[in-house]
Amino acid sequence: MVLEIKNISKNFGGIAALTDVSFSVEKGEIFSLIGPNGAGKTTMFNMITNLFPPTSGNITFAGDTITGIKPHLITEKGICRTFQNIRLFPQMTALENVMVGGHCRIKSGVFSSVFRTKAQRNEELKLEESAKELLELVGLTEEMENAAENLAYGQQRRLEIARALASNPQLLLLDEPAAGMNETETDSLFDLIKKIQAKEITVLIIEHDMPLVMRLCDRIMVLNFGKKLAEGTPAEIQNNEEVIEAYLGSEEDEQSA
């Protein structure tokens, strides 16, 4: 087990965003959080990465409690994420954006960087080569020297994933990576996430594209009004009456829409 969420709750004033939610993610699997807007999915990501702490409950990663520790320490432990809204450095090149993601693994300090020591230069070269390999993985080699702001929307999404991978995570959190993508871009995203899984990186994904979720994920958990509604395989979720009523809808609903 790589990640364990135990009895997590989060209150904002008098509003309960999450209430007593528990689940676990196994090493190497693709696990999805789904549910209606406002169900608490992104709040859960924010708990895991400690953008704000939970009101109660505990989070364990690779056997260590990470509840409440600083976000940069969570990254160092091996968790990285993307966001719903693209957060690239728009005027940096694609290569530079990915290299920024890898700087958390650089050992050279301020002195080495200022005086450009041999060790620092060697680290920078290795970082650049690693960034180029990641750009190849996400299909952006030809865009390496282009500014991020000049890339197409789907390319920017993939660049964000490359930047996250540059931190060498064990667990990658993807927050609605297919949002705004067309069918071709979504198929490319499917292939990319499967390649990431093949590298033995565990993936936790929030996504509203149900066809993508159902063919991509090993297991799914459904949130509704901040509470856990169901958990299981894609087939189990698709046939869960409570989930159909609360979120997925039935075939009859689709035909009458």
- What pLDDT score was predicted for residue 256? 40
Please provide residue 198's backbone torsions phi and psi, each rounded to the nearest 5 degrees: -65, -20
Residue 112 has pLDDT above 90, yes or no: no
- What pLDDT score was predicted for residue 257? 38
Report strand pairing: 219-224 vs 202-206. Answer: unpaired
- What pLDDT score was predicted for residue 32? 98
- Decide if 130 contacts 136 (C-beta within 8 A): no
Residue 111 has pLDDT above 60, yes or no: no
The neighbour count for residue 201, using CB atoms within 10 Å, is 21
- Decide if 185 contacts 192 (C-beta within 8 A): no
For every residue of 148-198, DSSP letters joined together read GGGS-HHHHHHHHHHHHHTT--SEEEEESTTTT--HHHHHHHHHHHHHHHH
pLDDT digits (tens, 9 = 90+) for 206-253: 999 999 999 999 999 999 999 999 999 999 999 999 999 988 775 444
pLDDT digits (tens, 9 = 90+) for 21-59: 999 999 999 999 999 999 999 999 999 999 999 999 999
Average pLDDT over residues 171-196: 95
Measured in whole angstroms, the distance separating CA 59 from the mean position of its chain's CA atoms is 17
Average pLDDT over residues 150-162: 95
For every residue of 38-97, DSSP letters joined together read TSSHHHHHHHHTTSS--SEEEEEETTEE-TT--HHHHHHHTEEE--SS----TTSBHHHH
The first and second tokens of residue 105, run together, are 């693994």
For residue 102, which amino acid is it? G
For residue 6, which amino acid is it? K
| Average pLDDT, rounded, for the chain | 90
Residue 84 has pLDDT above 90, yes or no: no
What's the Cα-to-Cα distance from 90 to each of 35, 40, 128, 180, rounded to whole Å?
Answer: 31, 29, 19, 19
What's the whole-model pTM score? Answer: 0.89
Query: What domains appear along the chain, each with residue ranges and CATH number?
Result: 1-78+169-257 (3.40.50.300), 88-162 (no CATH)
